Amino acid sequence: MRRLALLFVLPVFLTAAPAAFAQSAAPEPARMDLSATGSVSVTPDQAHVSSGVVTRADNAADALRANGQAMTRVFAELRRAGVAERDMQTRQLTVSPVYSQPGRDTNESRRITGYEARNTVTALIRDLDRTGPVIDALVNAGANQLEGVRFGYSREDEARNEARRAAVEELHARRDLYSDIGGFRIVRLLSFSESGGYRPESGLYAVSMRADSSSTPVAAGEMTIEVTVNAGWEIEG
């Protein structure tokens, strides 16, 4: 008689307590977040004048042609006013249909009554004394759209770096003050960021027109360059 040997392999499952594998989450460190702003006031030394020509005609080609003729005169006047070629830039050029405006009580649908061409140029004026004469030259050349004057500062990077230094100094002063008052220790820096912009003084970007033959008066005033720094520190009591 043959004997058969049967081998049974029983699976063995090993289990471990969940706590053996779980990692205990470290507590969030105590932190302090502060912001500080540094500002520098400067006198603008350049101006950006945006103006252009709007023309209308029965068809798009005539509207664009009339606009091109007017803008040719505008560019010529800018050159005569002392604006360099590199300081002139076309900012917008569009041709669009003009629709009728039917009354509210009628069933008439809107229809195209003509076409409008719009061309806008921005001129950088590096001598602020030329701002008024340049505006006059634009109007005399046929510009019928004046979007305004935006003043700038040619050494903006230097002024912004000065505002950064003032902001960081103020930030550190506040950090040390709170640490001293609160009786805690600064462990390490956790985050740092920056934001900034301009804060023009109210009412100083005015452009007014005179009825006499003198140049258009323009007041540049002051502009303030601001930088805000934000930081967070780990603290220990």
CATH of the domain at 212: 3.30.110.170
Q: Which residues pair with 34 in a beta bridge?
A: 231
- Dist CA 182 CA 185 (whole Å): 9
Are 34 and 131 within one domain? no
- Dist CA 72 CA 67 (whole Å): 9
Place of tokens 């569009």: 94
Are 126 and 94 within one domain? yes
Are 50 and 140 within one domain? yes
Digit-by-digit pLDDT tens for the chain (237 residues) are 334 333 333 343 334 445 444 456 678 889 999 999 999 999 999 999 999 999 999 999 999 999 999 999 999 999 999 999 999 999 999 999 999 887 666 667 788 999 999 999 999 999 999 999 999 999 999 999 988 899 999 999 999 999 999 999 999 999 999 999 999 999 999 999 998 766 655 333 434 333 344 678 888 889 999 999 999 999 998
Give the residue from 119, 152, 185 where a domain finishes: 152
Range of the domain at 81: 46-103+110-152
- Dist CA 224 CA 44 (whole Å): 10
Q: Tokens in use for 217?
A: 């008066």
* CATH number for position 84: 3.30.70.2970
Q: For 58-99, where are the E strands, in sequence order?
A: 88-99
Are 164 and 201 within one domain? yes
pLDDT of residue 53: 96
State how far the alpha carbon of 80 is from the alpha carbons of 56, 84, 85, 159, 182, in Å.
Answer: 27, 9, 11, 33, 66
Tell me whether residue 9 is in a domain: no
Are 120 and 179 within one domain? no
**Number of Cβ within a 10 Å radius of residue 53:** 24
* Nearest residue to 146 (alpha-carbon basis) of 210, 88, 97, 208: 208
- Dist CA 160 CA 163 (whole Å): 5
pLDDT of residue 149: 92
- Dist CA 70 CA 88 (whole Å): 16
Tell me whether residue 124 is in a domain: yes
Q: How many CA atoms lie within 13 A of 31 on its CB side?
A: 13
Tell me whether residue 130 is in a domain: yes
Cα-atom radius of gyration of the chain, to the nearest Å?
34
Are 147 and 160 within one domain? no
Q: Tokens in use for 74?
A: 């505008």
* Nearest residue to 140 (alpha-carbon basis) of 66, 208, 216, 85: 216
Tell me whether residue 185 is in a domain: yes
pLDDT of residue 20: 45
Are 146 and 208 within one domain? no
**Phi, psi (5° rounding) for residue 211?**
-80, -20
Are 118 and 182 within one domain? no
Give the residue from 90, 121, 152 where a domain finishes: 152
Tell me whether residue 116 is in a domain: yes
Are 55 and 143 within one domain? yes
- Dist CA 212 CA 101 (whole Å): 38
Please state whether 163 falls in left (phi above 0), alpha (psi between -120 and 50) or beta.
alpha
- Dist CA 228 CA 213 (whole Å): 45
- Dist CA 59 CA 5 (whole Å): 104
Give the residue from 94, 123, 152 where a domain finishes: 152
Are 163 and 143 within one domain? no
| Nearby residues of 122 by Cβ (< 8 Å), 6 or more positions away | 48, 49, 50, 88, 89, 91
pLDDT of residue 23: 56
Query: What domain count does the chain have?
Result: 2
Tell me whether residue 83 is in a domain: yes
Are 134 and 147 within one domain? yes
Tell me whether residue 17 is in a domain: no
Tell me whether residue 79 is in a domain: yes
Are 123 and 181 within one domain? no
